Amino acid sequence: MKKPLTRLLAFLFILALMPAQNALAGWQIHYSGKAAKMFGYGGRGNFATKAQCESYRTSRPGFESMNSYCSGFDPPKPTVAPAPAYRPPSGQSGSGGQAQQPDPAALAAQRLQDEVAAKQRAQIAAMEQAAAALQQQQFDQGKSTLATDLRNRLNASGGANGQTLSDCWAARAGQAAQRGDRAGAKNYADYSIAAREGKSVPACHAGQSPAVPMPQGVTLVDDDPARRFTEEKLQLDNRIAALHGKQEETRATAEKKRAAVETLEKISRSATDPKAKQETDTLLAEAKNTLAEALEEDRRATDEIGRAESELKALNERGPAPRPGATATR
**CA contacts within 13 A on the Cβ side of 149:** 7
Q: Say whether both 135 and 188 belong to one domain.
A: no
- 54-100 residue pLDDT tens: 998 898 888 888 888 898 877 566 666 666 665 655 555 544 445 56
- 226-276 residue pLDDT tens: 777 777 777 878 888 888 887 888 888 888 888 888 898 888 888 888 888
Q: Say whether both 303 and 230 belong to one domain.
A: yes
Q: Say whether both 27 and 123 belong to one domain.
A: yes
Which of 133, 157, 181 terminates a domain? The answer is 157
Report if residue 323 sits inside a domain. Answer: no
Phi-psi region of 211 (alpha: psi -120 to 50; beta: other; left: phi over 0): beta
Q: Which residues contact 330 (CB under 8 A, 6 or more apart)?
A: none
Q: Say whether both 185 and 241 belong to one domain.
A: yes
How do beta strands 44-47 and 26-31 pair?
Answer: antiparallel
Report if residue 9 sits inside a domain. Answer: no
Q: Say whether both 186 and 238 belong to one domain.
A: yes
Q: Say whether both 196 and 269 belong to one domain.
A: yes
Which of 157, 176, 193 terminates a domain? The answer is 157
Report if residue 187 sits inside a domain. Answer: yes
Q: Does residue 167 register a pLDDT over 50?
A: yes
Look at the chain and report how many structural domains it folds into.
2
Report if residue 8 sits inside a domain. Answer: no
Percent of the chain with pLDDT over 70: 70
Q: Does residue 293 register a pLDDT over 50?
A: yes
Nearest to residue 271, comparing CAs of 255, 256, 286, 284?
284
Which of 141, 157, 173 terminates a domain? The answer is 157
Where helices occur in the chain by DSSP H, the ranges are: 2-17, 34-39, 50-58, 62-66, 104-156, 161-179, 182-196, 225-270, 274-318
Q: Say whether both 113 and 186 belong to one domain.
A: no
Q: Say whether both 46 and 118 belong to one domain.
A: yes
**CA contacts within 13 A on the Cβ side of 285:** 5
Q: Say whether both 49 and 198 belong to one domain.
A: no
Q: Say whether both 166 and 295 belong to one domain.
A: yes
Report if residue 89 sits inside a domain. Answer: no
* DSSP bridge pairs for 26: 73
Q: Say whether both 199 and 145 belong to one domain.
A: no
Report if residue 82 sits inside a domain. Answer: no
For residue 140, give its domain range: 23-75+106-157
Whole-model pTM? 0.33
Report if residue 203 sits inside a domain. Answer: yes
| Rg over CA atoms, the chain | 39
Q: Say whether both 243 and 268 belong to one domain.
A: yes
Report if residue 68 sits inside a domain. Answer: yes
